[in-house]
Amino acid sequence: MILTNLAAIFRKEFQSYFASPFAYIIAAVFWLIGGFFFSAILEEILQTLSFFEQSGQLSVPVDVAGQFIDSFFAVIISLLLVLLPALSMGLYSEERKRGTLELLATSPVTNWVVAVGKLLGVLAFFIVLMIPFWIYEIIIFSNASPPVNLNIILLSHGALILVATAILSLGMFISSLTDSGILAYILTFVLILFLWIMDAIAANLQEPFKSIVSSLSLFDRYTDLVRGVLDVSSIVLFISYILLGIFLTAQSIEAFRYQRS
């Protein structure tokens, strides 16, 4: 029963993006900007490599794939700081605006199931947005010399999905607090930006606050995984943010249900 309800909510949320002109605009802008940087970064790396080869300064093989991942994933995550709040801002705010949140809150389906279903739906749409880039990566990495380090590829893409899920989960909670999509976007962007620069904030603090604040930074943990540094604490941090967003969303809807009862 739970899985059936979860699948139904997931399907409804996922399909809603393909019926929304705004989602197509987001996809077009993301593909345009991301595609530009994909080509520009790859071209710059290849031109630099060609220059060193022609000048005889290249004595050892260059890990082109590794350099590309470092540069491109830094750009992609910057784009996602702007893109993901736009995807999450309507998860619940639109329900509030249309007056359907009350029906959702008083339905037999638990708040947790609704929140997880919505989160999986928006995450699936994000994965759809990433598919063209993954196809391009397969093409260029298949011809890489030296061969691509598969562990780095898996860790970097896993890190991207984890941080995207964390951002969407927190954005979903903020969306449940207001019927204004614009306000939900702004608050989500500010929150994620704050979590992103925590390492910079920590640099101005004294111990033990410096270590505590730094450990909550999304940027440092994401960067470590992209560079192939597997740290269980990084994965635990991302999962904690994901579960926190789901928990707060469920509590927010429960409070809404209580107000209406």
pLDDT in tens, 195-227: 888 777 777 777 777 777 777 788 878 888 888
Is the model's pLDDT at 108 over the cut of 80? no
How far apart (Å, rounded) are the C-alpha atoms in residues 172 and 20?
18
Give the burial string for 136-147 (b: 16+ CB within 10 Å, else e): bbeeebeeeeee
pLDDT in tens, 176-201: 898 888 999 999 999 998 888 877 77
pLDDT in tens, 228-251: 788 888 899 999 999 999 999 999
- Asked if 169 and 156 count as a contact pair (C-beta separation under 8 A), the reply is no
Global pTM reads 0.90
- The domain total for the chain is 1
- Asked if 149 and 67 count as a contact pair (C-beta separation under 8 A), the reply is no
* 206 exposure class (CB count in 10 Å sphere: 0-12, 13-18, 19+): exposed
The helix/strand count (H/E) of the chain reads as 12, 0
Q: Which two tokens stand for residue 227?
A: 């560079």
- Asked if 217 and 202 count as a contact pair (C-beta separation under 8 A), the reply is yes
Q: Which two tokens stand for residue 182?
A: 């614009």
User: What is the span of the domain harbouring residue 118?
Assistant: 2-260
